[in-house]
């Protein structure tokens, strides 16, 4: 059980203050504490996150998080080179898999995006090198990150969305890309007062941006 405090913070049963959104669910809280907002440079993890954010559209992230291992099993660990070879039988297999979200458009999008990811890696050197180009400059960030500063999209997520769409990606709208950027540490949207904010910022300072 989490106790709601001011400015979008909540105090968990462990006594720590964190962002309100994981509530008291242990899996969600662990995701918030150890993953969300921490910088990521691994292409497989980045591709996975783009795909899962696409699946999340219209659903809660907790729903996707609970099914994440099933998604990984269905989609070859989200390795783009493996998924790029998927055919109609693989799509049918995924549509029959009750452990994931069975949405044909989103499943076919993963296959399409895997092929586009290989092209992007060839163009930019890596997926990481490409997406980190869209990191906002510090002066564009809110002076104080409280709940009122949380927005559904930004000019930077819109730019990333446009760049990916131009290259043939799907299910990469600006709101989805903003959630992606938050999750992989391209921005640090942990709230002021959340114990993770300083940890994530320290990791971002030490992080070597991919080139």
Contact 2, 177 (CB under 8 A): no
Choose the catalytic residue: 36, 48, 53, 132: 53
CA dist 161 → 43, 130, 168 (Å): 17, 12, 11
- In the three-class reduction of DSSP (H, G, I as helix; E, B as strand; rest coil), residue 145 is classed as coil
Using an 8 Å Cβ cutoff, are 12 and 29 in contact? yes
**Three-class SS state of 211:** coil
Q: Is 53 a catalytic residue?
A: yes
Neighbours of 175 (CB within 10 A): 16
List 20, 21, 31, 201, catalytic entry: 31
User: In this structure, what token pair is assigned to residue 207?
Assistant: 């992080």
Instruction: Reply yes or no on whether 61 is catalytic.
Output: yes
Give me the catalytic one of 28, 36, 61, 169. 61
Dihedral pair phi/psi, residue 99, rounded to 5° = -85, -10
E strand map for the chain: 3-4, 9-11, 17-19
Catalytic residues: 31, 53, 61
């Amino acid at each position: 059980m989490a106790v709601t405090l001011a400015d979008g913070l909540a105090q968990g049963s462990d006594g720590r203050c964190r962002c309100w959104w994981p509530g008291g669910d242990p899996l969600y809280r662990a995701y918030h504490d150890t993953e969300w907002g921490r910088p990521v440079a691994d292409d497989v993890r980045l591709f996975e996150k783009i795909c899962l954010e696409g699946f999340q559209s219209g659903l809660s992230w907790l729903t996707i998080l609970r099914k994440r291992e099933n998604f990984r099993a269905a989609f070859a660990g989200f390795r783009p080179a493996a998924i790029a070879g998927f055919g109609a039988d693989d799509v049918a297999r995924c549509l029959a898999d009750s452990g994931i979200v069975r949405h044909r458009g989103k499943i076919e999008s993963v296959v399409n995006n895997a092929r586009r990811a290989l092209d992007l890696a060839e163009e930019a050197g890596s997926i990481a090198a490409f997406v980190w180009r869209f990191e906002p400059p510090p002066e564009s960030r809110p002076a104080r990150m409280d709940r009122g500063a949380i927005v559904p999209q930004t000019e930077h997520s819109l730019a990333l969305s446009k760049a990916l769409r131009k290259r043939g990606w799907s299910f990469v709208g600006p709101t989805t890309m903003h959630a992606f950027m938050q999750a992989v540490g391209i921005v640090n949207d942990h709230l002021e007062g959340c114990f993770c904010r300083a940890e994530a910022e320290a990791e971002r300072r030490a992080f070597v941006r991919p080139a």
